[in-house]
Amino acid sequence: MRTKLGIFCFSRNTDSALFSFSSFIPIFVAASEARCNRFRLQTPFPIQISHSYMNLKDKLLHPIFPIIKDIADKERIPVYVIGGYVRDLLINRASPDIDCSVMGDGICLSRDICQEIGRRGNGIPALQEFKQFGTSKFHYADTEIEFVGARKETYTPGSRKPRVEAGSLQDDLYRRDFSINAMAIALNGQDYGELIDPFGGLEDLEMQSVRSHRDPDQSFQEDPLRMFRAIRIATQLYFDIAPDTFDAITRNADEIKHLSAERITEEVDKLILSPKPSYGFKLMEAAGLLKLFFPELSALKGIETKNGKAHKDNFEHTLEVLDHVACAGGGLWLRWAALLHDIAKPRTKRFEEPKGWTFHAHEYIGARMVPGIFKRFKMPLDENMRFVQKMVELHLRPIILSEDIVTDSAVRRLLFEAGDDIDSLMMLAKADITSKNREKVARYRNNFVIVERKLKEIEEKDRIRNFQPPVSGQDIMEYFAIPPCREVGLIKDQIKDAILDGAIGNSRQEAWEMMLRLGKGLGLEPPDAHLAGDGIQETEGKPASGPGKIPGPDEGRECIRDNGLEKAKGKPSPAGDEKQPA
């Protein structure tokens, strides 16, 4: 293949073979010094590229391009759109940003372009300038547009900080990570739309291959993150990794020790959000990266057999669950929950006769492992982490529920513990069904339908989601005039359990009456118990006030005691949860 760059022509030998895959069935292929487990995927993008001179002006549909052309031609500054946008344009894939390489001052050019956008009646975009790096960016038409002066990077042996200087377009493309990202499209004059491909990126696109057009060992040593990028890009595009590039990853895996956790996590998050993230994790495991930065996940791999009894490969199972969640449309944090849902199985694995392999309490231990993993990866220790913890801890509950008779009580407890995350939990639990036993899978799925119907019925009837007991600990302490103590917790828990078990309704009145009974059984009495009666009587006169006033179950009711009976005056409040002054 020959492509044009100015007056120079470049060609590349295409005789090297790529790995072959069969639909998710592992096969081993020798590739120079390494053997790796690979999985062929069909790309969702139509890769039909002509091996001839290409002009893509008819594909440059974004409204920014004619504006760039007009300003660049006026100022006689060569400008090219480069990198991932060109790659995605060629495979008909949407791209969230546009990168432009400027043969000159990119910041000055971007200022003029923003002013021109304003003159055309679209408002002047807010321009961000990064003078230290010679870059600038702004948003226009729902796309981030970035400009950078073309540069050349030179590394000294042993250093990961390059010497940067102004360079040519070829210098700028050469410094990029992979051939499919080292293409450009001219945006000036008569060359507008011309594709420039000095390193065989077109051919690699057609062969669905991620290949380093430079010495891959040198490239990965300069920036080890490129190893993660190779796997992430291959996963997002369903591409292979060229043998020499993959082998270089395996040789240089130890170099990731020089990377910050934040940079690795950013790539892993993008990989997790791909349509079939299992592919990337299998590549990382085969290349030796996974055990270095995520040993807990790598430890799930393998099958152990004892006395003729074997457990499943929990690494393969975990990735299958992750793919199921991705296929169902789960977001980033639910996908992380899928990745971590069995993370404690290696720690909890035991062999017990006659049952065989067990992993008792792996969900609870796994939930306790989540904060440590998030902290190590420099991930947010906030509500997203707590969501992942909750999903890991509860992931077995719907499955256990579906194995047995689905009772209202069990469904109420599940609703109570999951709260607003019940839908995510059900998605994870359904994704966790990976048995090869079709009858077992069918039984689970049928029972899941029953569980989901029950969830809807009980939610509508009992309002259990985000349930809070209608009698609070403050109510109990104020009524019995006691400080925080064990008895308060006992009363609260028994009221909660009674509601979840269906013994009483989810109402303040029924909960209040139960509180009185429980308090009496624990020897608790209100401070004016000597006034108490045996029943409720309406009273006349002014509302009680001062220390003799005891909060009752309903707002707006005056309560006094006469021989153990509650007397009340006033109109009950529908809310019934506001306190009266003591």
- Per-residue confidence in pLDDT tens, the chain, 582 aa: 333 333 222 233 333 333 222 232 232 223 333 333 344 444 444 455 544 458 999 999 999 999 999 999 999 999 999 999 999 999 999 998 999 999 999 999 999 999 999 999 889 999 999 988 889 999 999 999 999 999 887 776 666 677 778 889 999 999 999 999 999 999 999 999 999 999 999 999 999 999 999 999 999 999 999 999 999 999 999 999 999 999 999 999 999 999 999 999 999 999 999 999 999 999 999 999 999 999 999 999 999 988 888 889 999 999 999 999 999 999 999 999 999 999 999 999 999 888 898 999 999 999 999 999 999 999 999 999 999 999 999 999 888 776 666 677 788 888 888 888 999 999 999 999 887 778 878 888 888 888 888 888 777 766 666 567 788 889 999 999 999 999 998 998 888 888 777 788 878 898 898 899 999 889 888 887 544 433 333 333 333 333 334 445 444 333 323 333 333 333 333 333 433 333
In whole angstroms, give the CA distance from residue 311 to residue 293.
Answer: 25
> How many CB atoms lie under 10 A from the CB of residue 577?
15
ω before 354 within 30° of 0 (cis)?
A: yes
Name the burial class of residue 415, with classes exposed (0-12), middle (13-18) and buried (19+) by CB atoms within 10 angstroms of its CB. buried
**Which one-letter amino acid corresponds to residue 470?**
P
In whole angstroms, give the CA distance from residue 18 to residue 12.
Answer: 15
**Are 77 and 179 members of one domain?**
yes
Token reading at 510 = 């029924």
- Whether 577 maps to a domain, the answer reads no
pLDDT score at 412: 80
**Are 188 and 129 members of one domain?**
yes
**Which one-letter amino acid corresponds to residue 330?**
G
- Whether 231 maps to a domain, the answer reads no
Q: For residue 97, give every residue at least 6 positions away whose Cβ sits within 8 Å of its Cβ, in sequence order, or none.
A: 84, 85, 143, 144, 145, 146
pLDDT score at 32: 32
In whole angstroms, give the CA distance from residue 147 to residue 67.
Answer: 14
- Whether 134 maps to a domain, the answer reads yes
Pick from 348, 324, 286, 298: nearest CA to 432: 324
Residue 383 has, within 13 A of its CA and on its CB side, a CA count of 2
Domain CATH for 149: 3.30.460.10
In whole angstroms, give the CA distance from residue 356 to residue 360.
Answer: 12
- Whether 543 maps to a domain, the answer reads yes
CA 169 → CA 149, 223, 373, distances in Å?
10, 21, 42
- Whether 253 maps to a domain, the answer reads no
> How many CB atoms lie under 10 A from the CB of residue 121?
6
Burial letters 438-449, b for 16+ CB under 10 A, else e: eeeeeebeebbe
* Beta bridge pairs of residue 29: 36
**Are 486 and 560 members of one domain?**
yes
Token reading at 46 = 């139509």
Pick from 447, 435, 439, 517: nearest CA to 476: 517
Name the burial class of residue 49, with classes exposed (0-12), middle (13-18) and buried (19+) by CB atoms within 10 angstroms of its CB. middle
Pick from 447, 443, 441: nearest CA to 406: 447
**Are 562 and 422 members of one domain?**
no
Pick from 26, 135, 117: nearest CA to 70: 117
The dihedral region occupied by 329, where left means phi > 0, alpha psi between -120 and 50, and beta the remainder, is left
Going by their DSSP bridges, the two strands 209-210 and 240-241 should be labelled as parallel
How many domains does one find in the chain? 3
- Whether 40 maps to a domain, the answer reads no
Report H helices in 166-313: 169-174, 201-206, 216-222, 225-237, 243-251, 261-272, 278-287, 290-293, 295-298
**Are 66 and 203 members of one domain?**
yes
* Beta bridge pairs of residue 81: 100, 185
**Are 421 and 485 members of one domain?**
no
Out of 172, 187, 207, a domain closes at 207
In whole angstroms, give the CA distance from residue 67 to residue 72.
Answer: 8
CA 329 vs. chain centroid, Å, equals 11
pLDDT score at 449: 83
Asked if residue 55 lies in contact with residue 195, where contact means CB atoms within 8 angstroms, the answer is: yes
**Are 127 and 80 members of one domain?**
yes
pLDDT score at 421: 92
Q: Record the pTM.
A: 0.75
- Whether 435 maps to a domain, the answer reads yes
pLDDT score at 282: 97
pLDDT score at 497: 83
Give residue 558's domain range. Answer: 473-569
Q: For residue 144, give every residue at least 6 positions away whose Cβ sits within 8 Å of its Cβ, in sequence order, or none.
A: 96, 97, 98, 137, 138
In whole angstroms, give the CA distance from residue 538 to residue 567.
Answer: 6
CA 346 → CA 244, 312, 315, 359, distances in Å?
34, 12, 11, 8
**Are 168 and 78 members of one domain?**
yes
Out of 462, 484, 510, a domain closes at 462
**Are 454 and 492 members of one domain?**
no
Q: Coil, strand, or helix at residue 531?
A: helix
**Are 537 and 414 members of one domain?**
no
Asked if residue 226 lies in contact with residue 220, where contact means CB atoms within 8 angstroms, the answer is: yes
Q: Coil, strand, or helix at residue 165?
A: strand
DSSP 568: E
Asked if residue 213 lies in contact with residue 247, where contact means CB atoms within 8 angstroms, the answer is: no
Q: Coil, strand, or helix at residue 203?
A: helix
**Are 102 and 154 members of one domain?**
yes
In whole angstroms, give the CA distance from residue 522 to residue 378.
Answer: 48
- Whether 242 maps to a domain, the answer reads no
Token reading at 240 = 């292979």
Q: Coil, strand, or helix at residue 42?
A: coil
Out of 180, 207, 234, a domain closes at 207
